[in-house]
């Protein structure tokens, strides 16, 4: 009986994986996104693509508790006229990417579970603007994000607007990145600070 149940779970999980993969690719093609070969969506991924999206080859998006080390799912939002570019051989897990203007993620980048990347404040920093919801949202500050090649971002990090992370750098788990990180360095903390150079 146990063997039958295990076999049943394996088959249903396989079918679910195929359906999630097909649904994501179909939605991206419908949105006229450019997708490289061998893009994989493991688990349910929320996609809202109104702008321009380019995904390089060998992209892996893991989503849900069954595929990641934490709860949640991956979500990619590209607003109208915004541009999100994801390079080759990039892997993300239960990651939220919210692109209002321009976000670039280089090649060979790994982004840990629960990480949030957004290029906007979402709201104005002026208290007067908060009296009118429309103005509050319209006056939010927006600035591009650039993540270099071979970067590793640990689990549950926050990468805010206007940030550049240089090639080969590492962002320690749980960090809040509020300023640029040069190439070949390890940073961590809240706010993230320099820890050491990478040999």
Residue corresponding to tokens 């579970």: 113
Structural contact between residues 176 and 165, judged by C-beta atoms closer than 8 angstroms: no
pLDDT at residue 184, as a whole number: 97
Mean pLDDT, 10 residues at a time, the chain of 199 residues: 64 75 85 90 92 96 78 90 97 96 98 96 90 89 96 97 98 97 98 94
pLDDT at residue 7, as a whole number: 63
Structural contact between residues 89 and 69, judged by C-beta atoms closer than 8 angstroms: no
- What single DSSP character describes residue 175? -
Nearest partner of 39 among 51, 50, 28, judged by Cα: 28
Query: In the annotation, is 123 catalytic?
Result: yes
Structural contact between residues 101 and 82, judged by C-beta atoms closer than 8 angstroms: yes
User: Strand pairing partners for 153?
Assistant: 111, 171
pLDDT at residue 1, as a whole number: 63
pLDDT at residue 24, as a whole number: 86
Whether the bond between 22 and the residue before it is cis, its omega within 30 degrees of 0, is no
- CATH number (domain holding residue 45): 2.160.10.10
Domain that holds residue 54: 2-197
pLDDT at residue 156, as a whole number: 96
Could you give the number of structural domains in the chain? 1
Which of these is catalytic: 26, 73, 98, 123?
A: 123
């Amino acid at each position: 009986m146990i063997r039958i149940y295990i076999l049943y779970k394996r088959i249903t999980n396989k079918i679910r994986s195929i359906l999630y993969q097909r649904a994501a690719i179909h939605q991206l093609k419908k949105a006229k996104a450019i997708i490289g070969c061998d893009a994989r969506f493991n688990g349910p991924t929320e996609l809202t693509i109104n702008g321009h999206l380019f995904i390089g080859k060998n992209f892996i998006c893991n989503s849900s508790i069954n595929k990641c080390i934490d709860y949640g799912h991956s979500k990619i939002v590209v607003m109208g006229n915004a541009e999100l570019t994801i390079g080759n051989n990039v892997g993300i897990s239960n990651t939220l990417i919210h692109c209002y203007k321009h976000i670039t993620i280089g090649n060979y980048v790994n982004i840990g579970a629960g990480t949030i990347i957004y290029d906007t404040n979402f709201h104005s920093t002026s208290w007067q603007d908060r009296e009118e919801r429309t103005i509050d949202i319209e006056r939010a500050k927006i600035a591009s994000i650039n993540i270099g090649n071979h970067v590793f971002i640990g689990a549950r990090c926050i990468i805010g607007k206007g940030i550049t992370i240089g090639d080969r750098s590492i962002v320690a788990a749980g960090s809040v990145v509020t300023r640029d990180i040069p190439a070949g360095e390890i940073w961590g903390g809240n706010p993230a600070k320099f820890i050491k150079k990478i040999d």
